[in-house]
């Protein structure tokens, strides 16, 4: 039986407000002219009702996928109707369609069957077959697959506990073809867990797939060189997460059934040690910059860096992290679809502001900025605003605003309701879920 990515208890679908204090955003560069950065004031909402995490992404109970920013401890909504996703942002929607990420934008991959699981560049279809996303073809020899992994090599775990591996031949330097590939080939048997370039067998021995294959310890069906033994903890382990097999001791975690999180010592054979600062955890993940924990109340917290080592008496060493709760940014839907913007909307003085370039340029409009004047053109409508002023023009007619355009973190932010309505959009604020809903008419020819 494999280890599962964490599922939470069934909770409210809404994000909970925890304080009505101020969030302060510092001044930034990027525009010429007289500028003073605005202080964005908004109530802080925790990211809530998370059901699954991997890498820098988390999926909530409404099927919305959130991208986590561990450095700012914030999350931005990137897609809805999501069923499964990968740590690189690739995802499968509820209808089985496969979507991949190109910069901030997503696009659907045509030519693939309805799928149920994705990892890296591969998906599992509803029959348990594996398909290459880029090549749009079925992988040979792989049947009844239940789990994929995109560590140093690509790998797949079938329902019988066999692990199949494929990729570039690490010993191709011995031949005249440095691009020679191998597999998929059956390498490991009796495996209960596959993730992050490691396989854990039924005796709770950890197999470093990259080391076994690259150094030459392993051949199909033959494994030696295993050096991490989790069997002393086998009755307590709920999940194992490894970010990189090239450095197992960094950002690698073992989640126990009691909600505590442990990590390896300074070397792979140093045994497991508990991490102070983490309790009540039901799922764990990480990236190359830090880790993220999901708690039994549905909230999420993250920390930067590897667990810190503290010498107590030069004999024992403690590992600790200082997690911070992840807050949810305001989301934007345009004509019913989540729109990913280069920077997030802000609530300023009880009004939602959006980064003007990010939204309208992504819709095919144009945005000009000079001498604190913002000009927006979209769908045969023209709007002109002056930063810090309540005067504006709509299609050449002067109007007064109840809130001026502002500069926040070096980006021009405009009141979303005024700009949306002035350019022919219906604007609604979904306060419960913290989404701005913009509905535009079809662009005029």
Q: State which residues form the domain around 210.
A: 140-226
The answer to whether residue 196 is domain-embedded is yes
The answer to whether residue 355 is domain-embedded is yes
CATH code of the domain covering residue 352: 3.30.457.10
The answer to whether residue 284 is domain-embedded is no
Look at residues 226, 246, 278 and tell me which one is the last residue of a structural domain. Answer: 226
The answer to whether residue 261 is domain-embedded is no
Look at residues 186, 209, 226 and tell me which one is the last residue of a structural domain. Answer: 226
Look at residues 189, 209, 226 and tell me which one is the last residue of a structural domain. Answer: 226
3-state secondary structure of 88: coil
Bridge pairing between strands 317-320 and 272-276:
parallel
Q: How far is CA 436 from each of CA 2, 43, 45, 254, 377, rounded to the nearest angstrom?
A: 40, 16, 15, 39, 20
What contacts 207, CB < 8 A, 6 or more positions away? 188, 191, 198, 199, 200, 201, 223, 226
Taking Cα atoms as reference points, which of 193, 184, 195 lies closest to residue 149? Answer: 195
The answer to whether residue 20 is domain-embedded is no
Query: Tokens 């701005």 — which residue?
Result: 436
The answer to whether residue 81 is domain-embedded is no
How far apart, in whole angstroms, are the C-alpha atoms of residue 64 and residue 77? 7
Domain count of the chain? 2
CATH code of the domain covering residue 180: 2.40.10
The answer to whether residue 188 is domain-embedded is yes
How far apart, in whole angstroms, are the C-alpha atoms of residue 152 and residue 150? 7
Taking Cα atoms as reference points, which of 350, 354, 414 lies closest to residue 43? Answer: 350
* Per-residue tens of pLDDT for the chain, all 445 residues: 445 444 333 334 334 443 333 332 222 222 222 333 344 445 568 999 999 999 999 999 999 999 999 889 999 999 999 999 999 899 999 999 999 998 778 999 999 999 999 999 999 999 999 999 999 999 999 999 999 999 888 999 999 999 999 987 766 544 456 567 888 999 999 999 999 888 999 999 888 887 777 665 544 444 444 567 788 899 999 999 987 665 555 678 899 999 999 987 655 445 788 999 999 999 999 887 889 999 998 899 999 887 876 665 445 567 889 999 999 999 999 999 998 888 888 888 888 998 888 888 888 889 998 888 999 998 888 999 899 999 999 999 998 888 898 998 888 888 888 878 787 889 998 888 889 999 987 765 5
The answer to whether residue 400 is domain-embedded is yes
DSSP annotation of 173 reads: G
How far apart, in whole angstroms, are the C-alpha atoms of residue 1 and residue 147? 12
For residue 266, give the H/E element and its range: none
How far apart, in whole angstroms, are the C-alpha atoms of residue 66 and residue 55? 11
């Amino acid at each position: 039986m494999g280890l599962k990515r964490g599922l939470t208890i069934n909770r409210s679908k809404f994000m909970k407000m925890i304080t009505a204090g101020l969030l302060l955003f510092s001044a930034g560069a990027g525009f010429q002219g007289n500028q003073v950065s605005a202080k964005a004031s908004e109530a802080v909402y925790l990211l809530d009702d998370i059901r699954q995490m991997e890498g820098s992404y988390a999926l909530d109970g409404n099927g919305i996928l959130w991208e986590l920013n561990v450095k700012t401890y914030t999350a931005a909504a990137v897609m809805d109707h999501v069923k499964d996703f990968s740590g690189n942002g690739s995802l499968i929607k509820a209808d089985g369609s496969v979507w991949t990420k190109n910069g901030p934008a997503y696009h659907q991959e045509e030519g693939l069957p309805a799928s149920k699981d994705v990892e890296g560049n591969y998906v599992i279809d509803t029959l348990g077959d594996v398909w290459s996303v880029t090549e749009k073809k079925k992988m040979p020899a792989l049947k009844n697959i239940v789990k994929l992994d995109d560590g140093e090599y690509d790998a797949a775990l079938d329902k019988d506990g066999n692990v199949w591996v494929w990729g570039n031949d690490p010993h191709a330097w011995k031949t005249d073809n440095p691009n020679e590939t191998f597999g998929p080939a059956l390498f490991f048997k009796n495996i209960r867990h596959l993730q992050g370039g490691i396989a854990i067998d039924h005796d709770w021995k950890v197999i470093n797939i990259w080391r076994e294959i690259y150094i030459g310890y392993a051949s199909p069906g033959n494994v030696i060189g295993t050096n991490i033994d989790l069997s002393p903890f086998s009755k307590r382990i709920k999940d194992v997460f490894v970010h990189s097999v090239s450095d197992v001791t960094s950002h690698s975690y073992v989640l126990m059934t009691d909600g505590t999180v442990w990590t390896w010592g300074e070397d792979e054979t140093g045994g497991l040690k508990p991490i102070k600062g983490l309790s009540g955890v039901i799922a764990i993940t990480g990236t190359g910059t830090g880790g993220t924990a999901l708690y039994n109340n549905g909230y999420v917290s993250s920390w930067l860096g590897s667990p810190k080592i503290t010498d107590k008496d030069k004999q024992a060493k403690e590992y600790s992290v200082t997690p911070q709760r992840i807050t949810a940014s305001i989301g934007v839907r345009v004509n019913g679809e989540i729109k990913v913007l280069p920077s997030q909307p802000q609530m300023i003085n009880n009004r939602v502001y959006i980064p003007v370039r990010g939204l309208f340029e992504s819709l095919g409009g144009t945005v000009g900025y000079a001498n604190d004047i913002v000009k927006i053109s979209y769908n045969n409508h023209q709007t002109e605003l002056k930063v810090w002023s309540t005067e504006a023009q709509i299609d050449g007619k002067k109007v007064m605003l109840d809130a001026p355009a502002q500069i926040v973190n070096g980006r021009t932010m405009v009141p979303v309701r005024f700009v949306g309505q002035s350019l022919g959009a219906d604007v609604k604020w979904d306060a419960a879920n913290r989404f701005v809903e913009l509905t535009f008419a079809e662009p005029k020819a």
